[in-house]
Amino acid sequence: EWVSPDNLVVQGDWLYLSADGDCSSRIYRCRFNGSQIQDLGEKAYNAAFAVEGDWIYTIAQGAVVKKRLDGTDQTVVAPLPAKTFPLYTFLVREGCAYFTARNEELFRVDLRTGRIAAIRTWNVSADISCPERLVEDEGWLYYQEPGRHDTNSRQVMRLRLDGTDESGVCYGWPQPH
């Protein structure tokens, strides 16, 4: 019996999911009808993983790692800089992994070379946090600008995949009735 997955990805004839939370989750795969459930081994930090091509990418053992879709051939792509936890979001696009960590930075990892760099830094505090979700579309990363937790001051921003051309997309939100 499945619990609500923390992350769910469809790739080919398989569903990939992570579940069981508490800062580390196992990655599983199964067929669309629920058959052939397979535990792919390594735990994913904060349930964050992405599937691109023939690989699963995740954060494990203090590094960005990749493994084949069946869970074999795990390889370290890049060790993480010191103090990059907690990890909030993880996305793979166009040969790079993107994630927010340490409550203040957006990192990009080149999956071919292993080069890792912070491409955006926020001035955060106890009541202001970095974006918890990234969405990519046509070469842009979209995210909700950090704002105070107790206000409706956040706006939707976008940034090119290379970390340039940040701009606002949507300012403010309608108040619920």
pLDDT of residue 176 exceeding 70:
no
What integer pLDDT is reported at residue 1 of this predicted model? 37
Could you tell me what percent of the chain has a pLDDT over 90? Answer: 15
pLDDT of residue 22 exceeding 90:
no
Q: What SS3 state is found at 67?
A: strand
Q: pLDDT of 87-138, one tens digit each?
A: 667 888 889 999 887 657 888 999 999 999 988 887 766 555 667 678 888 9
The residue written with tokens 């701009």 in the block is 167
Find the largest Cα–Cα distance for the chain. 52
Q: pLDDT of 65-86, one tens digit each?
A: 898 988 889 899 999 887 666 5
Q: For 3-23, what is the mean pLDDT?
A: 68
Query: Could you tell me the CA-to-CA distances from 80 to 84, 107, 115 in Å, in that order?
Result: 7, 10, 10
Residue 94 CB burial class (10 angstroms; 0-12, 13-18, ≥19): exposed
What pTM, to 2 d.p., does this model score?
0.75
